[in-house]
A and B are shown apart, each in its own frame.
Chain A
């Protein structure tokens, strides 16, 4: 039953965008078309959500064998691990779709609206399809549907060169990833004898190594782990905000799903692989947040934060692999629960933050943090939701980010009791995670402070006005989900247990509720909230009772400076400067300094920029080299048909010459 609900959801969400094609591009008809599309998608997602939540609690996994195209092998199926990710896809997609009604109303965007609805639906369907795939073919169909729809969504605003570039970089990256996946599935076929994705009990060592490396590469590109993250910042800032929310919140998780799924199918790996994944996660985490700190663009900043969170997710996964290699079920359970819960949590708060950034962008028309400011006055609800998301993404109690990070921490602390050479060094991940947390606080104080607090820094920022209800409601729901998981982690413990068990191939594991102090987290979180409310109430009562001039307002004191302006505020760039310098070895910030000359220097410009290290220092030089080498080959291309016929002739002659002796010697049986 739940499986059919999901299949219906996939079909209808794929079809949802086509409905819009029957409506006119302009005017009220276009608006009606957009509402119809969105309605179909939301209904489809609701049915999928019901199906996937039910699927989480159905113990036995099911798979469906179709006569075609994978004769005799299961094509699609459902188990709690798939359901866990499906919940995410349907939940976030429906909210983003509702948000788009207010964010990109069809009558204002006649050129792009129908296109973006079409590919939005296809993206959702593609992701859901790859999640239920049990056969390499179905998986790749879903994967490519997702990858290509995402491309068309990234370049929806194709009038800007920047967006077309970001789209191209994404396309190259995603197809290199897919190429690795083709190789991976070929190896899989060679090792297990079929394209079916079912667990392999034993496997040849070299094949295993190849499969793990190729899937780490292929899926790692999609997940955005460092150093394969280079497509991510550009793509996320180029696409419309409701799409960025879906890409960052959900599509990156498909890469994580791929790695998680392949690792659950493979036999138990050695401790080395766990350490590798853990290190990749730690590097992605620290450098991701360091790059985020250096950004001047709100959406690029959020995009780099996805890299950081993917790092935390990978740290959990690496630790779970280590736990498996060591035969320590409690580490496996804790670390995997941390990994999977962070997948959910990151989807919730990152989509919330991207939607908030979208509201800011729509109201002010700029993403540059240093031109914003003071928006909490004109956009109080957006600001409030953004702050909830910011506290959550920093992993601070009492919100959801804390719970998943706590699970990972507990897994790390669990590894301390492991004996063996170097096993205790795994615990170095804990200070790493602490550093990521502190950097994230700095980064989000910078983003929140410069965007919403203080006074407007530019005329654009003064234009801010509150987003419409259709944009606020999805953000409110996401914020509520963040609070709910943070205050009552017991709500999701059942889902986590089911998914972790399904990942571990059904082998018995202790439940998360018995390993982590879920009740204490709830109690502590609730008392934190109550105490804050109590102290605020006392303050409010004190000033409400005796109103006689006790609470006055005036200009900011600012050490007595009389006429401060918005431009005199501390900027986001200055805020981050200390930390950017601390990480200058990795970030290599470029400065365009200007020398002040004369007694009365004229106005000067000053600029600092941090480019993506991998893209600007590895990928770009390599592609330039490749282009240069290709120049040499160009002389063979003259455009003369006769010449091509000549090439064919030469090729045939060479082939005949090389084949001739072989054919001659071969004995005929």
Chain B
């Protein structure tokens, strides 16, 4: 059980990015990079040398390291579909959310450490938008805690609320939409951020990591893909609660669902343009309000 969870957590993530890229290529009428391209990229980066800016200090190195560890830890708390999480305790969803805070602290600080205006800009945007996505996440948590009476992510998410009575299902649907926007934002996808550009003034995540190279960049790419998996699994456990009693089948179902959701992200990326930066807060406020309305509907 736990072994499968850990294998999926560490092995699957780059494939999700591959699926997104493939989907986007299909929409654009290209053949696109191989599905496993991200694995090759990361492997290559890890073998390369490192160029470190003179202005930086240990904080610059701490950014990627802390992010990787925090995201992996969050991945241990979240259930993968119907299969439970290896680590679960009362209040673990708060730990889960604050792990992302920890990684954000060090990522943004590492960006400021280079003394570059681009990276400062990226880190300012990252910090700003998180102030809207975090409350949205907590709206979902209190709504689920209210409905399930449980304070742990594994039991809150894995209870198949979508299949219960209509008002509950309605609010879950609202929250799923909100969570999807949070997922797009946190993983720096279109319409909030564009993961493919490096030299635009409107970017967030890619701007912050401009000066990271070699293995550090590899770690960042890897943890970014892992973050995608972790946030997708929150959404999957909530929106696609299909499970059997067999652990192996559950895991296969989960992997299929994760690939499907990544393809959905790819579709959104292909169908939409990136928003103007000043429009992004409106979108995020929308997500916040959706999650908030979901909660209000539940407690009525």
Contacts and interface: CB of A to CB of B under 8 A. Distances in A.
A571 B115 CA distance: 10
A260 B225 CA distance: 47
Contact of A536 (B50, B65, B295): B65
B115 A373 contact: yes
B123 interface: yes
Contact of B115 (A390, A395, A453, A516): A453
Nearest to B207: A559
Contacts of B62: 532, 536
B116 A564 contact: yes
A441 B127 contact: yes
Contacts of B66: 532
Contact of B134 (A380, A435, A453, A552): A435
Contacts of A535: 65, 68-69, 219
A54 interface: no
Interface in A575-598: 575-579, 582
A396 interface: yes
A556 interface: yes
Using C-beta atoms within 8 Å of the partner chain, give the interface range for chain A: 35 or more
Contacts of B160: none
A319 to B, nearest CB: 14
B59 interface: yes
Nearest to A422: B299
B65 A569 contact: no
B117 A558 contact: yes
Given A397-B95, A527-B73, A413 B51 contact: no
Contacts of A517: 89-92
Interface string B152-181: 000000000000000000000000000000
A558 B219 CA distance: 21
A28 interface: no
Contacts of A453: 57, 59, 109, 112-113, 115
B128 A556 contact: no
Interface string A87-106: 00000000000000000000
B102 A391 contact: yes
A266 B31 CA distance: 74
B13 to A, nearest CB: 16
Contacts of A37: none
A551 B52 contact: yes
Interface stretch (A13-21, A153-161, A211-219, A402-410): A402-410
A552 B49 contact: yes
Nearest to A290: B131
* Interface range, B side: 35 or more
B131 A570 contact: no
A453 B116 CA distance: 11
Given A434-B137, A557-B210, A578 B116 contact: no
Contacts of A492: none
A376 B51 contact: no
A446 B299 CA distance: 38
Contacts of B68: 535
Interface in B29-60: 49-57, 59
Say whether chain B's binding surface is mostly helix, strand, loop, or mixed.
helix
Interface in A386-405: 387, 390-391, 394-397, 402, 405
A666 to B, nearest CB: 64
Given A517-B91, A569-B117, A435 B131 contact: yes
B163 to A, nearest CB: 22
Interface in A546-562: 549-559
A437 B101 contact: yes
A549 B51 contact: no
Dominant secondary structure of chain A at its interface with chain B: helix
B50 A551 contact: yes
Contact of B118 (A377, A434, A558, A578): A558
Contacts of B69: 528, 531-532, 535
B80 interface: no
Contact of B135 (A376, A435, A532, A574): A435
Contact of A570 (B70, B94, B112, B133): B112
B101 to A, nearest CB: 5
A394 B101 contact: yes
A36 B247 CA distance: 70
Interface string A519-553: 01100100110011001100100110000011111
Contacts of B121: 570, 574
A293 to B, nearest CB: 10
Nearest to B210: A557
B135 A520 contact: no
Contact of A397 (B98, B211, B292): B98
Interface stretch (B143-151, B227-235, B258-266, B268-276): B143-151
Nearest to B125: A578
B123 A582 contact: no
B299 A424 contact: yes
A455 interface: yes
Nearest to A561: B116
Contact of A448 (B87, B99, B109): B109
Contacts of A405: 94
A438 B130 contact: yes
B101 A441 contact: yes
Contact of A542 (B55, B120, B215, B299): B215
Interface of A: 373-374, 376-377, 380, 383, 387, 390-391, 394-397, 402, 405-406, 409-410, 412-413, 416-417, 424-425, 427-428, 430-435, 437-439, 441-442, 444-446, 448-450, 453-455, 516-517, 520-521, 524, 527-528, 531-532, 535-536, 539, 542-543, 549-559, 564, 566, 568-571, 574-579, 582
4 pairs of A and B residues whose beta carbons are closest in the complex: A570-B120, A449-B112, A454-B115, A442-B127
Interface of B: 49-57, 59, 61-62, 65-66, 68-70, 72-73, 87, 89-92, 94-95, 97-99, 101-102, 104-105, 108-109, 112-121, 123-125, 127-128, 130-131, 133-139, 141-142, 145-146, 149, 151, 199, 210-211, 215-216, 219, 281, 292, 295, 299
5 contacts: A387-B59, A394-B105, A521-B95, A555-B54, A579-B128
Given A449-B120, A454-B113, 20 more contacts: A395-B98, A402-B98, A409-B94, A416-B142, A433-B138, A435-B135, A441-B127, A442-B130, A453-B112, A516-B90, A524-B95, A528-B73, A532-B65, A552-B52, A558-B114, A559-B199, A564-B117, A568-B117, A570-B121, A578-B281
